[in-house]
Amino acid sequence: MKVRAEFVDAALRALDKFGPEVSMGDIAKEAGAAKPKLYRHFEDKTDLYNAIVDRVRDMLWERIVSSADLTNDSARELIRRGAAEYVLVVSEHPNVFRFMLHSHFAQRADESERALQSARQSAKRAADLFAGLLADKSVEVSSVELVNYSVFGAVASATDWWLGANRLQAHTMPTEKFVAYLAEIICALVEANARLNGIRVNADLPLHLAFAGD
């Protein structure tokens, strides 16, 4: 597992350096190993792609959760801070995100679903955490999971647009404005889901007090 993790580290560095069209040879070279050794630890390109997606998911989760005060921050501030941390990671590793969104490593339709599967796992993880903080225990975890999954989809699409197809292209929107855009989109999705479930939202209150049933 240690060697496998080191290859994933090397893959992230190679993506930063060579871009989303990186090859297995580029990754092996970055790791200081021969390509056959890489294939001893990963079944194929898709296996490596899956490992990269999982690593980025865990990195984002750690960055976003560690930046937040889940007890005292308002729901609005938590969303804004989470969006800011996310965009910071995208800015630090734009080619990694381009790779995840448009990877030639995921050669079949079912393989390209991996990022969505990872998002679904993160949505469930966030939903469980969120539901545990709520004062109103009548809120269904499945409903929270659905809005979280919707947020992941919207954020991924917006990220694809922001980065642009050409890796040399300047960002279409300044970073600060993009963070604000994401925060507004996320808030809108959360509020819409709350209305559908008969829940009142006060985004200026701490998260555990922001949602109340009618």
Q: Tell me the C-alpha distance between 206 and 214, whole Å.
A: 18
206: how many CB neighbours lie within 10 A of its CB? 18
Query: What number of helices (H) and strands (E) belong to the chain?
Result: 9, 2
pLDDT at 26 over 90: yes
- SS3 breakdown of the chain: % helix, strand, coil, rounded to 5? 70, 5, 30
Looking at the structure, tell me whether residues 33 and 66 fall in a common domain.
Answer: no
The distance of Cα 48 from the centroid of its chain, to the nearest Å, equals 18
Handedness of CA 30, 33, 34, 36 (dihedral sign): negative
Looking at the structure, tell me whether residues 32 and 65 fall in a common domain.
Answer: no
Looking at the structure, tell me whether residues 37 and 142 fall in a common domain.
Answer: no
Looking at the structure, tell me whether residues 32 and 114 fall in a common domain.
Answer: no
Q: Give the CATH number of the domain where residue 174 resides.
A: 1.10.357
Bigger pLDDT: 166 vs 172: 172
Q: With respect to residue 48, please indicate whether it lies within any of the assigned structural domains.
A: no
Q: With respect to residue 83, please indicate whether it lies within any of the assigned structural domains.
A: yes
Looking at the structure, tell me whether residues 65 and 37 fall in a common domain.
Answer: no
Backbone angles phi, psi at 71, to 5 degrees: -90, -40
Q: With respect to residue 204, please indicate whether it lies within any of the assigned structural domains.
A: yes
- Kindly state the tokens that stand for 213: 């049933």
Q: 78-131, pLDDT tens digit by residue?
A: 889 989 999 999 999 999 999 988 876 765 545 445 555 666 666 566 656 555
Q: With respect to residue 125, please indicate whether it lies within any of the assigned structural domains.
A: yes
Q: Tell me the C-alpha distance between 37 and 7, whole Å.
A: 10
Looking at the structure, tell me whether residues 115 and 172 fall in a common domain.
Answer: yes
Q: 102-114, pLDDT tens digit by residue?
A: 876 765 545 445 5
Q: With respect to residue 30, please indicate whether it lies within any of the assigned structural domains.
A: yes
Pairing of strands 199-201, 211-213: antiparallel
Looking at the structure, tell me whether residues 121 and 144 fall in a common domain.
Answer: yes
Looking at the structure, tell me whether residues 148 and 197 fall in a common domain.
Answer: yes
User: Can you give the residue range of the structural domain that contains 124?
Assistant: 57-213
- Kindly state the tokens that stand for 90: 């995208």
Looking at the structure, tell me whether residues 94 and 137 fall in a common domain.
Answer: yes
pLDDT at 208 over 50: yes
pLDDT at 163 over 80: yes
Residues 207 and 68 sit within 8 Å (Cβ to Cβ): no
Q: Tell me the C-alpha distance between 88 and 40, whole Å.
A: 34
Residues 150 and 42 sit within 8 Å (Cβ to Cβ): no
Looking at the structure, tell me whether residues 61 and 38 fall in a common domain.
Answer: no
Q: With respect to residue 52, please indicate whether it lies within any of the assigned structural domains.
A: no
Amino acid residing at 59: M
Q: Tell me the C-alpha distance between 181 and 175, whole Å.
A: 10
- Kindly state the tokens that stand for 14: 């190679």
Looking at the structure, tell me whether residues 26 and 66 fall in a common domain.
Answer: no
> Smallest Cα–Cα separation from 187: which of 98, 77, 28?
77
Looking at the structure, tell me whether residues 91 and 173 fall in a common domain.
Answer: yes
Give this prediction's pTM. 0.80
47: how many CB neighbours lie within 10 A of its CB? 15
